[in-house]
Chains A and B, each alone.
Chain A
Amino acid sequence: GAVVSQHPSWVICKSGTSVKIECRSLDFQATTMFWYRQFPKQSLMLMATSNEGSKATYEQGVEKDKFLINHASLTLSTLTVTSAHPEDSSFYICSASNRGGTQYFGPGTRLLVL
């Protein structure tokens, strides 16, 4: 089946620093990638939808200047958490959608901001 990877799998950073998370579709071209955030014991909340070569569409309440999304190619999307704070600590999951609309989820990135 299709494989989506994320890097890093976990990251610990100091408050105020920026963290970049990569999402790659390894064996297919992803027309659309999605970024989710999941706090402990809660559901996955969609943050933004990104299409290759265009600006991401952010969900209501998600700060686009804080969560920068770049989708430079059909196999790579990046999420940068700028000036991270402890409340940004969460599990960030990407998914990639092929032309048929099937979504494949990455393994997630656990972010801890101290």
Chain B
Amino acid sequence: GQSLEQPSEVTAVEGAIVQINCTYQTSGFYGLSWYQQHDGGAPTFLSYNALDGLEETGRFSSFLSRSDSYGYLLLQELQMKDSASYFCATNSGGYQKVTFGTGTKLQVIP
């Protein structure tokens, strides 16, 4: 089975940097994705790491260490609109089935 653990809540100040961690136990690991979900909305794709290392996309970066079964999402220059839930996810199987992590609710405060 698949299991992805994240901290449940994180609070950070506007303009700061925050890191959201994800540890996973999976079979048939293909890569780690990150999604953002605002209250009442659907998840939106942020990034994907298939290989070890850091992927940067604007203010967001994502890191993966396959040997440690660990990854993180780094958000820089935090803005109030970044307040949302963030989910790591793995995909597996021939149909690219996505399994979501427990989710981290990020609150950005002034």
Contact = CB atoms under 8 A, between A and B. Distances in A.
A103 B87 CA distance: 15
Contacts of B100: 36, 43-46
Interface string B61-103: 0000000000000000000000000010001000111111111
Contacts of B98: 34, 46, 95, 103
Contact of A46 (B40, B45, B97): B97
If over half of A's interface residues share one DSSP class (helix, strand or loop), that class is named, otherwise mixed; here it is strand
- Looking at chain A, what size class is its interface with the partner chain? 20 to 34
- Looking at chain B, what size class is its interface with the partner chain? 10 to 19
B103 A32 contact: no
B3 to A, nearest CB: 11
B43 interface: yes
Interface string A40-82: 0111111001010000010000000000000000000000000
Given A34-B98, A44-B87, A46-B98, A93 B103 contact: no
